[in-house]
Amino acid sequence: MSDVQKAMALLIESFSKYAGKEGDNLTLSKAELKELLQNELGDLLGKANDKAAVDRIFTSLDANQDNSVDFKEFVNMVSCLTVMCHQYFHQSAKK
Ligand SMILES: [Ca+2]
Ligand SMILES: [Ca+2]
């Protein structure tokens, strides 16, 4: 597999790992999202321990407001964060 394909497979795998913990195994509940944020993105999102921050992230990710985060909504977050990281590295490289 190419690196990009590997990254895609890892995203799917990571999402399934957390989505399968409770309830619907195709979507993330708020508790599942919190665990994913803490374990996988803790260093990027720092404040994922803060309940209000988790609530805010959950609400903003849940685009169709069905009170769960599906894979599409999750990938939206990952792509936004990836764009932010890319900009950050691009800017640091210019200095
Ligand atoms: Ca679930
Ligand atoms: Ca949703």
Quickly list DSSP for 42-73.
HHHHSGGGSHHHHHHHHHHH-TT-SSSEEHHH
Q: Which helix (H) or strand (E) holds 7?
A: helix 3-19
User: Is the model's pTM score more than 0.75?
Assistant: yes
The contacts found for 13-19 with CB under 8 angstroms, 24 or more apart, are 14/40, 15/71, 15/74, 19/71
Lowest mean pLDDT among 22-26, 71-75, 84-88: 84-88
For 16-70, write each residue's pLDDT tens digit: 999 999 999 999 999 999 999 989 988 777 665 688 888 999 999 999 999 999 9
Distance in angstroms (rounded) separating the CA atoms of residues 79 and 60: 14
Looking at residue 51, its pLDDT comes to 84
Looking at residue 53, its pLDDT comes to 86
Indicate which ligand has the atom closest to the C-alpha of 71.
Answer: 2
Question: How far does the centroid of ligand 2 lie from the alpha carbon of residue 43, in Å?
Answer: 25
Indicate which ligand has the atom closest to the C-alpha of 32.
Answer: 1
Domains present along the chain, CATH in parentheses: 3-94 (1.10.238.10)
Looking at residue 94, its pLDDT comes to 80
Residue 95 pLDDT greater than 70, yes or no:
no
Question: How far does the centroid of ligand 2 lie from the alpha carbon of residue 47, in Å?
Answer: 22
For residue 85, give the 3-state DSSP assignment: helix
Looking at residue 48, its pLDDT comes to 57
> How far is the CA of 8 from the CAs of 13, 55, 79, in angstroms?
9, 27, 11
